[in-house]
């Protein structure tokens, strides 16, 4: 398991669907999984299931009878390392892969149809309109001094260069923050305002922003949070330090 250093991050990133083949051997050897060769991607699941196949180290070639295997493709199989003979395609599996918080690849799960795989990806994707990007966390994550600083920003005009707007929640002591131009990554900030994430953090420091608030906003911005509410009655966010009393 990877270590998540940003408690605002959720789910998986860069979700994608990979069509794979579950292959068995007549001698009872363990099943193997291989990608279908690029030249046979057009074959339907029905055409592939129960077909004999050539198993190479990182792909398989179906011998489904409707299209003969070309000499060039046979040569590619023969030239590959780790060719493990012939097997039978038992199932077409739509594997869902993604990236963990630290960028490492993760096998999320398997489905047995393209439609089911797309539905899982949609449910797991954190996109506008599917999942809320609003968070309510305890104000214990910031000091009393920082709370006063944030309240002053809510009562006055928040500097435009901060890329957020502080506001008061009516009939509540809670303070809200609307983050702008998220996610606060170099690529997105360069496109939105011609600055880097490092320059934005420096702008916050130059204007005297307390470190605890700057750290929270930095993490929230990286995780594409758009609305953040700090309320004394809200629970603490696991993994986010509490302010020193």
Confidence (pLDDT) at 187: 93
Predicted local distance difference test score (pLDDT) of residue 85: 78
**What does the alpha-carbon distance between residue 10 and residue 225 come to, in Å, rounded to a whole number?**
11
Q: Where residue 245 falls among pLDDT bands split at 50, 70, 90?
A: low
The pLDDT tens digits for 27-71 are 888 889 999 888 888 889 999 999 998 888 888 888 876 667 777
* pLDDT higher than threshold 70 for residue 118: yes
- Indicate the pTM of the whole model: 0.62
**pLDDT tens for residues 209-221?**
999 999 999 999 9
DSSP-assigned letters across all residues of the chain: ------TT--S-EEEEEEEEEEEE-TT-PPPEEEEBPGGGTTS-HHHHTT-EEEE-SS-EEE--SSSPPPHHHHHHHHHSTT---EEEEEEEEEEEEEE-TTS-EEEEEEESSHHHHHHHHHHH---TTTS--EEEEEGGGS-HHHHHHHHHHHHSPPPGGGSEEEEEPTTSS-EEEEE-S-S--HHHHHHHHS--HHHHHHHHHHTT--HHHHHHHHHHHHTT--EEEEETTSPPPTTSPPPP-
Tell me how far apart the alpha carbons of residues 61 and 153 are, in angstroms, rounded to a whole number. 64
Q: Report pLDDT for 130.
A: 44
Distance in angstroms (rounded) separating the CA atoms of residues 143 and 140: 7
């Amino acid at each position: 398991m990877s270590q998540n250093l940003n408690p605002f991050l959720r789910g998986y990133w860069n979700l994608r669907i990979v069509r794979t083949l579950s292959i068995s051997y007549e001698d009872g050897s363990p099943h193997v999984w291989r990608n279908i060769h690029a030249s046979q991607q057009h074959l339907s699941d029905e055409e592939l299931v129960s077909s004999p196949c050539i198993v190479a180290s990182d792909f398989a070639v179906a011998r489904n009878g409707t299209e003969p295997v070309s000499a060039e493709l046979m040569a590619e199989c023969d030239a590959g390392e780790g060719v493990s003979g012939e097997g039978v395609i038992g199932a077409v599996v739509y594997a869902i892969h993604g990236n963990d918080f630290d960028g490492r690849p993760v096998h999320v799960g398997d489905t047995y149809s393209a439609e089911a795989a797309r539905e899982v990806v949609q449910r797991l994707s954190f996109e506008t309109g599917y999942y809320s990007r609003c968070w309510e966390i305890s104000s214990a994550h910031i000091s009393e001094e920082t709370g006063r600083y944030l309240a002053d920003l809510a009562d006055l005009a928040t500097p435009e260069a901060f890329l957020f707007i502080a506001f008061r929640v009516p009939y509540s002591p809670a303070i809200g923050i609307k983050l702008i131009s998220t996610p606060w990554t170099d690529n997105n900030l360069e496109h939105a305002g011609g600055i880097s994430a490092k320059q934005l953090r420096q702008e916050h420091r130059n204007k005297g922003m307390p470190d605890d608030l700057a750290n929270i906003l930095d993490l929230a911005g990286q995780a594409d949070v758009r609305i953040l509410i700090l309320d004394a009655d809200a629970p603490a966010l696991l993994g986010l330090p509490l302010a020193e009393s």
